[in-house]
């Protein structure tokens, strides 16, 4: 069986493009492990479903967030996605 350089390069390029497209799809969401935190985000209209993840674009649109009465114990993801400060 004979492989030409062009076929090998095409395979490598296709693999890279496929890998980047998978990474791009995963990069659109951030993990929200605290159920109460995500529940609060849904109640506030920032998230649409409780699935353990939040769309980063939705989070970046938020500039204020009041969570003091929500009894949330884990704010993992808040500083990576929100434009608060």
pLDDT at 22: 57
Residue 37: Cβ within 10 Å count: 22
User: pLDDT (tens digit, 9 = 90+) per residue, 7-17?
Assistant: 777 777 877 77
**pTM for this model (two decimals):** 0.61
The DSSP annotation for 12-51 comes to HHHHHHHHHHHHHHHTTEEE---HHHHHHHHHTTS-SS-S
C-alpha–C-alpha distance, residues 73 and 12, integer Å: 45
Report the run of H or E that residue 43 belongs to, with start and end: helix 35-43
pLDDT, tens digit (0-9, with 9 covering 90-100), for 18-77: 666 655 555 588 888 899 989 988 998 989 999 998 888 888 888 888 888 888 888 887
């Amino acid at each position: 069986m004979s492989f030409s350089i062009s076929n090998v390069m095409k395979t490598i390029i296709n693999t890279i493009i496929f890998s980047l497209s998978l990474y791009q799809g995963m990069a659109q969401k951030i993990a929200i492990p605290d159920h109460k935190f995500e529940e609060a985000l849904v109640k506030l209209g920032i998230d649409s479903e409780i699935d353990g993840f939040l769309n980063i674009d939705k989070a970046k649109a938020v500039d204020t967030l009041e969570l003091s009465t929500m009894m949330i114990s884990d704010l993992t993801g808040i500083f990576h996605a929100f434009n608060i400060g």
